[in-house]
């Protein structure tokens, strides 16, 4: 998994430009959890799609337990819009916490399976650019 996380940073140049363009989209972040609430699922909204790419605005609410185990069928560039830490858990149970700064960018190959959680106290927003 460490090599996959390191590989996430490869897309810096392309995603930096895209992040500057999309950062002003102003889509609402998900609400925070309280002790009485059920865990809040992450939100993922397609904001652009064509024959070459699908762009998603993804928000990971604070304290969200997980996104559910899932596989990304497309390679993608991630543009981090808000500072925070995400916990990536592999199918075998190994979890890695990765801290991100706003404006950081990375790349992931297709066919990566994991679940993601935000152990922090504030929502994290990421723009995912899936390459078709």
**Whole-number pLDDT of residue 19:** 41
Please report, for the domain that includes residue 99, its CATH number.
Answer: 2.60.120.10
Residue 59 falls inside a structural domain: yes
Question: Which single residue is written with the structure tokens 């002790």?
Answer: 35
Q: What is the mean pLDDT of residues 29-37?
A: 42
Place of tokens 């928000």: 59
Q: Is 84 within a domain?
A: yes
pLDDT tens digits, one per residue of 16-26: 334 433 344 44
**pLDDT above 70 as % of the chain:** 67
Is 55 within the bounds of a domain?
yes
35-76 tens-digit pLDDT: 444 555 689 999 999 999 999 999 999 986 668 899 999 999
Strand ranges across the sheet with 43-49 = 43-49, 53-60, 124-131, 75-80, 105-108
Q: Which residue has the higher pLDDT, 3 or 82?
A: 82
pLDDT at 6: 40
**Domain contains 81:** yes
| Beta-carbon count within 10 A of 78 CB | 23
Instruction: Supply the range of the domain harboring residue 52.
Output: 2-27+41-131
- Is there a domain that residue 34 lies in? no
Number of domains in the chain: 1
Residue 35 lies in a domain: no
φ, ψ (nearest 5 deg) of residue 104: -75, 155
Is residue 15 a part of any domain in this protein? yes
């Amino acid at each position: 998994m460490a090599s996959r996380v390191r590989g996430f940073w490869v897309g810096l140049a392309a995603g930096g430009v895209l992040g500057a363009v999309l950062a002003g989209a102003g889509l609402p972040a998900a609400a925070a959890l309280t002790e009485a609430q059920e865990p809040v699922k992450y939100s993922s909204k397609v904001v652009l799609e064509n024959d070459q790419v699908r762009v998603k605005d993804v928000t990971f609410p604070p304290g969200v337990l997980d996104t559910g185990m899932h596989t990304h069928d497309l390679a993608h560039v991630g543009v981090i819009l808000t500072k925070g830490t995400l916990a990536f858990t592999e199918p075998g149970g190994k979890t890695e916490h990765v801290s991100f700064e706003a404006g950081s960018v990375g790349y992931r190959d297709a066919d990566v399976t994991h679940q993601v959680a935000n152990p922090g106290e504030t929502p994290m927003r990421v723009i995912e650019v899936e390459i078709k």
